[in-house]
Each structure stands twice: as structure tokens, then as C-alpha cells.
A and B are shown apart, each in its own frame.
Chain A
Amino acid sequence: MMAEAGTVRAVPRRRTTAWRTGAGTAAKISGGVLLLVIVIAVFAPLIAPHPPNTGELSQILLPPAWMKGGSGSHLLGTDSLGRDELSRLIYGARISLLVGLVATLIAGLVGVPLGLLSGYLGGLADSVIVGFVNIMTAFPFLLLALLVAAVTGPGLKNVLLILGLTGWPIYTRVIRSVVLELRERPFVSNARVLGLSHWRIMTRHVMPGIWPTFLVISSLQVGYMILAEAFLSYLGLGVPEPTATWGGMLSDGSQYIFSQWWLTAFPGLAILITVLSVNVLSDSLRDLTAQAGPRKAADDADPAVVLRTYVN
């Protein structure tokens, strides 16, 4: 790509300043929304107007307050057991964020060391790990999660482990490609010449180089894990009732799709808004690391595409 010669179309190669400030605004808004969701999740007992799991049977399937028949004490109405929809949404944020973060962490703890070993060591270890990753990625992620959930049964701990232990190959794949590139850099061979052990080079010299990539993958994974948890809970294989989860609420609400549309709309909106904020923030993070980092690994390709591609 010869930047100095004229291009076919008069498009600037790099993003314009206007675009960048636009991205900055998007990042600020999504960051703010995410912060709000986190605060809501942490302080759920203080914020929720009603307890999430106790319903009044005299007040089942109330519409939101602004609709006919709605009541001011149940702003978003009540579900089929008379439980306050808003309170359950607020408590549901806890599960979604918890699963998003912890499952991503577990996936990273498995995937990063494998990627590091695979890329740094090469040879047989590399072939074995890459082969394993290829097989794992041939398996649709949600299907594998579904399969394991069907056997282990529902429960928060199971969901965390299932998503964590099925979601790691993306880390291994991308981190490996980054390490392959870092390994060829002079500072690694210099460290080797200085007589440092492989272990020390890996942990002290190669590891810091993978942080930007790690952050970008993780931030995207969080959104993906939240969606996967909703998927499992929707099918009744996630965190079981009466715990409020957005996916579970959707599953419950979708039985009333012909009359009480809001029971379907609100939990889905909560998922959408949270995941969207995470993804937009992640995109800005990528732009940031792409500008700061000297190398361009997976960041020229669209990371969302790359991730989806690897994760299935």
C-alpha cells in the first residue's frame, strides 16, 4: 500500500480527527453506561424497590406503570409470579456481570498459558496445542456449552466452569500469533544471549507484550459470555430459578409474548445495552492499543470478526 501515491478514491488512509472524537464520545457513553450497570449490580439490595424473589399473587402480570392498569409501585410491572420486574432486572445484572467477568477470567487462565507455550516453544508442543484448538473451534461454542450443561445440570458454578472451559481457544490462538511475532524480536534473542532461562524470558519479556491483545480479547469475551449465559438460562440450563437472571426472565416472559410483550422486551434490552457498552468500549480499547503498540497483530483485522471467527 503506497501511501504517498494518489489513491483511487480520495479517502484518507487513517481515520479523521472528527471520527476519532466521535469514537471517544462513544467510548465515554458506553463506559458510563457500563459503570452504571456495575453500580446497579453491586448496590442491588439498596436500589431495588422490592425483593427480587418474593411475589404477591394478587399482583401478577401487572403492566409497566405508564400503561393502563400499571401501578406506580411496580415501575416495569410484575411477572407471572407477581415479582417486581424492575427489581429482578436489577438483581439480574449481578449474574450477568459475574458470569461475564469470571468466565472470561477462567477462559483466559486456560488459554493464555497455552498460547504462550505454543508460540514460544514451537515444535511438538505447538502442533499438539494448535491441533487441539482447531478441534475445539470446529465445535460450535454454544453447542458445546449446551451439551456440557445438559450433563452437569444447571447452577451458577457449572455455568462459570462450562463457559470458561469452552471459551479459551480464542486466547490460545491469538496470543500464539502475537508470541510468534514477539519471539523473533531482537530483545528476545538478546535476553537469550544474556543467558536468561526460557521461563524467565517467557514470563518477564514476552508476557508484557501480550497484554494489549489480552485486554482486547477479554473485553470482547465478556460480552460474548454474557450472551452465552443468557442463552443457557433461556433454555433452563443456566442459573436456576428463583435467582433472577436476564436469560431466565426472558424465558419466563416469552410465555406471555402474545399479551405481555414487555416481559420479553425488558430483559433483552438489558442484555443488549450491557453487551453493546462492553463491545463499544472494547472497540475503543482496540483503537487505543493499535495506536500505542508498535506491532499490528490482529488489530488491523476487525477483532469482533476475528473473535467470532475463532470462538464460533
Chain B
Amino acid sequence: MLRFAGRQLMHLIVVLFGAVTITFVALRLSGNPVDALLPANATAQERQTLIDQLGLNRGIADQYGRFLGQVVRGDMGNSIINGQSAIREVAGQIGGSLVLAGLALAVAAVVGIALGMLSAERRGGWLDRLCRAAAAIGQAAPSFWLGLILIIVFAVRLKLFPASGMGGARYLVLPVVTLAIAIVPYVMRLTRTTMLGVLDAEFMRFHKAKGLRPAVIIYRHGLKNCLPPVITLLGLQAGPLLGGVVIIEYVFGRSGVGSLLISSIYNRDYPVVQVAVLVIVAVVVLANVAADLAVAALDPRVRLGGRAA
């Protein structure tokens, strides 16, 4: 297990290094950031100052080296808007976003696995068909649009929940539901597919021969065996989930890393954008590592060097 964790840590470092590099390439090489950062009527002097500030007059290799140095030292510059340390800006916002993402993932996991198992159990029945149709629709709808529709229905019409802003648990309901809806179809479909395979497995027949009740067979032995791929999927959903958090925070007017990122993009607050992106990528990678570790803990075949079923 320890060796497995060590391998995961190496993987984590390599991927983070790559992500830092991609951020660098995306921000420095995909166009002249000076044009994007400054208003159209900026003076030549302002341009020159910014070029010096960002070190854009140096060679690419030199810039990259300095950028890596900054990342390692944890010194990512100050916000152009309020002069605060960019890292502190992002750190102040990450908590709320993680709570939002975590709740959504938990809701999606419970609902998705439950629906997937019910679907598999009643394969071909009306519940299965309904779930699969709903999943198809959930996969095709833009999440920010779903959020807006939920606002129209539950906040504007029914006045059940607040439309936007921060506050108690009531403010979290609609954003969490929106984010969860985006993930549930994938969890449900994978659970269903995996469960259908498990239902055919020999050990399930053994449990039946042993005289266990069907409910115990399916919900204890079946569930345990279809969890590993689902957990891996949940880890992999961290990416789309955090992408969703970015836009859902914006839609629901919540403060968090996502809305900070978007307002920083609009304000051309380059250092904050950089830190926010790196933090989100780090969270995504960590979530994947956590999922891999969980799978390894559940499935001895994985940690002993084989492959998950």
C-alpha cells in the first residue's frame, strides 16, 4: 500500500509539473498577453511597464525558468486590482468552492449509484428506461443553463430557494443540485453497466446458491464489486466538476475560486488567474490520486500491481 502511495505521489508531482507548464504555455504563448491585459487605449509606457513586470522581454527559456522558480517558492505575484498577494486572494476563496464541489460530488455519488443499481436490477423495465432517458437529457444540457432554469422555477416562480448570493444552507441547495445533475448521468450509467457485469459473475451465483436473500446479494456483494470503477470515475469527475463550479458560482452569484477566476479574467488580473488555475488543477489531480488510493484500498488486485476489473 505504501509503495502504491509512493507511486501515486510521483505521478502527482509529474502531472502538476506538466500542468504548470501548460499554464505557462497557454498564458504566454497563445498570444501577446500584453494586448489582452491592457485596455485598448493604453499608452506605450504602460505597455512597456507591463512587459518589464511580466518579464516578457526575456527569452522563453528564461521566462519559463523564472516561472517555475516562482511556483516552487510560492511567490506568484500580487493582484493587479488590489495589490494583495495572488495566493492569499485565492486561498481566501478556495474553502467555499471545495464545500460546494464536495457536496455536489457526494450527492451525485449517492443518487447516481442508487439509480444505477436500481436500473441494472430492473433492466429493461420502465424505471430503467426512465433513468436512461433522464441521463441522456442530463448529459446533453449545459450545466449553466440547468442552473438558470432551476433559478427560474425554484427561486423566481416557487420562491422556495434564494436565486443567488451567499448565506446559509438554503443558498447551497440549487447550486449543489445543478452540479450534481451534471455528474449523476455518468455515475448512473457506469454503475449500471458495471452492475450488469457483476450480476452475471459466478460469485453472485454462489451467494444465491448459499441461500442469501437477493437484496443482500445485490446491495452488499454486488455493490462492493461495482464500486472500484465508480470511485475511479468519481475521481475523474473532479475535473468537469470544478469546471462546473467555476461557471455555477458565476451563475448563482456565489463567491469562490470560480467567480474569482472569471472576474479576474474580465479584469485582466493575470497573476490571480494563474494562481486560481493552478490551484484548481492541483485539486483535480489530488482528487484523482485520492480515488486511486481508495480503489487500491478496496481492491487488492490494484495495489498488488494488477489491473482493476
A residues in contact (CB < 8 Å) with B: 1-2, 5-9, 11, 13, 16, 19, 131-132, 134-144, 146-148, 150-153, 223, 227, 230-231, 234-237, 247, 250, 254, 257-258, 261, 264-265, 267-268, 271-272, 275-276, 278-280, 283, 300-302, 304-305, 308-309, 312
Contact A305 B149 (CB under 8 A): no
Which residues of A sit under 8 angstroms from B151, Cβ to Cβ? Answer: 257
Instruction: Tell me if A1 and B200 are in contact (CB < 8 A).
Output: yes
Contact B142 A268 (CB under 8 A): yes
Q: State the Cβ distance, A151 to closest chain B Cβ, in Å.
A: 5
| Chain A residues whose C-beta falls within 8 Å of the C-beta of B121 in the assembled complex | 9
- From B139, B208, B243, A312 is in contact (CB under 8 Å) with B243
> Which residues on B are within 8 Å of A, measured CB to CB?
14-15, 18-19, 21-23, 26-27, 30-31, 33, 35-36, 121, 123-124, 136-137, 139-142, 144-146, 148-149, 151-152, 156, 163, 185-186, 189-190, 193, 196-197, 199-202, 204-205, 207-208, 217, 233, 236-237, 239-240, 242-243, 246-247, 250-251, 261-262, 265-266, 273, 277, 280-281, 284-285, 288
Q: How far is the CA of A148 from the CA of B262 in the complex (A)?
A: 13
Q: Is the CB of B137 within 8 A of A147?
A: no
With both beta carbons as reference points, the residue of chain B lying nearest to A274 in the complex is identified as B140
Chain A residues with CB under 8 Å of B185's CB are 304
Contact assessment for A254 and B247 in the assembled complex, using a CB-CB cutoff below 8 Å: no
Contact B189 A304 (CB under 8 A): yes
Interface of A is mostly: helix
**Cβ–Cβ contact B142 & A271, under 8 A:** yes
Question: Given that A1-B200, A231-B247 are contacting pairs, would A140 and B239 also be in contact in the complex, using a CB cutoff of 8 Å?
Answer: yes
Would you call A140 and B280 a contact (CB within 8 A)? yes
Query: Could you list 13 A-B pairs, sorted by A, with CB under 8 Å?
Result: A11-B199, A138-B19, A139-B281, A139-B284, A140-B280, A143-B277, A146-B246, A147-B277, A150-B273, A152-B31, A231-B144, A261-B156, A301-B193
CA distance A143 to B197 in the complex (A): 35
Report yes or no: A2 in contact with B202, Cβ–Cβ below 8 A: yes
Chain B nearest CB, measured from A154 CB (Å)? 11
Least Cβ–Cβ distance between B169 and chain A, in angstroms: 23
- What CA separation (Å) do A50 and B74 show in the bound complex? 55
Q: Nearest chain A CB to B218's CB is how many angstroms away?
A: 9
Across the interface, B199 reaches (CB within 8 A) one of A7, A227, A264, A279, namely: A7
Q: Is the CB of B142 within 8 A of A134?
A: no
